[in-house]
Amino acid sequence: MRSRISSILMLVIICVLMAVASVQAAPPQREKQNVYGVTPWTGKEYGGTFAPKGVDRIHLLAGENNVLNTLETEVYFWPITNEYMANWFESKEVIGGRLQILQDGKEIELLERQPYVHVYPQGFYGGGSGLLVGEAAEKKYQEYQDAIDDYWKAVTDYRESYAAYEKQMTEILKEVTETGKIYSEEELPKAPEQPEPPVWYVTGVTEAFIVNLPVGEYVIRTLDADGNPVEGTEKKLTVFEKRRTGVGYQIIPESKWTRSVQSDDASQILYLEGTRTMYLKAFHEAEYNQHHYLRMTSLEKPLAGVGAESAYMWVHEEEVPDTKVQVLQAGEVVMEVGTKPYYVKQTPGYALGYDIVEFDAESDEFAGRRPSFEAVKLELGPGSYQIRVVDASGQVLKGSVRDIRSVNVVPMWQLYLLSLVPLVVGLVVVVRRRNLRMKAAKPITA
């Protein structure tokens, strides 16, 4: 009987495992949908998300240019990451028409698509991006294409010049070998300099709806050539703004430079252990409603921002240019430090370590290299301090004041010694009681 029950249980387990395996192996179901591709301005850069059929509300920042486009694509739900995915590479079609924006049931704008480009001044992976619209977008893209063409022309000229340089050096070497003639450094030809490609980058010109609205609640929908709403394109639109602004810090500890921490609120107190060296980067920051902000940047994730309707979050935006940090002690400025470039050097040998040194662009040691980061270097010992950021005129930037407490940590051996105190006290008590008992038991002699 037991063996039969065990066999049935084993069969049930195998069936369940096979069912789970078949579900996991089955490809997600794709569905053709009309969606909005959304490129919102996040306060520091342009993000990327989309609003599928299951999302009925879009969130955008007020007073900023945001990019929306009505598209048809294949959408499927990916349970591993709990988000909607779009099959952009195999299925993407622009839905023609105009974008109608309504408020309280009345049309307030009817937008046509406009050409636009994204501009990356520090390169695609090097920093923030900007948005240009209309003729300015087409002009900037042409400027970038001209810069690329000039670079490749310079590369061709460089290769020809370098070939001529090598030929000339070969002839000189042959002459030196045959005749023993000595050339001075001034007589030798100079090697041509290799051209540098453009660091900045501009995307190709694309057309989309540019939405810039004040704070409020709206409804959007796409109208076809006949003025009829396109099915599945009506969405609610929440346009929100920042609650307050301030200055935030990115704090890079010298001992753990890859693990920086942030200080966002002026009420935060920073604690240090003993004497520490740290590097500070100051950012203009803004505080947003967390629910609105996370929905704006991650529409494809159904759970993004859920439960955070009453919460707020700080967002670091652009870095404060030419940062100067003042350090105060007892209300008086004891130090003022500006931003400098630094380079992280790997220490030689098998030990895994590094040194952070000031970057000198004129030094041969750093030839062909770039600084690892730029920051304000502070070295603080035990005590109480305040730090703040000042502008070129010496004015303190609002929200930049932070309190710092640097404390001496008790050495471990002192803690171990402290733990021995109860043991010593107990030992003394035991010895004392034993002596008292021995005295009480000692016979009294006449």
Tens-place pLDDT, residues 346-355: 877 655 678 8
Q: Map out the domains of the chain as residue ranges.
A: 29-241, 245-292+306-407
Contact of 205 with 138, CB cutoff 8 Å: yes
94 strand-pairing partners: 71
The better pLDDT of the pair 91, 410 is held by 91
Residues 360, 342: Cα–Cα separation, whole Å: 8
Predicted confidence (pLDDT) at residue 174 exceeds the cutoff of 80? yes
Distance separating the N- and C-terminal Cα atoms of the chain:
90
Percent of the chain with pLDDT over 70: 88
pLDDT of residue 406: 79
Residues 6 or more apart in contact with residue 412 via CB below 8 angstroms: none
Average of per-residue pLDDT across 294-312: 94
303 strand-pairing partners: none
Amino acid found at 9: L
pTM, 2 dp: 0.78
pLDDT of residue 230: 95
Tens-place pLDDT, residues 355-368: 888 988 888 788 77
pLDDT of residue 441: 67
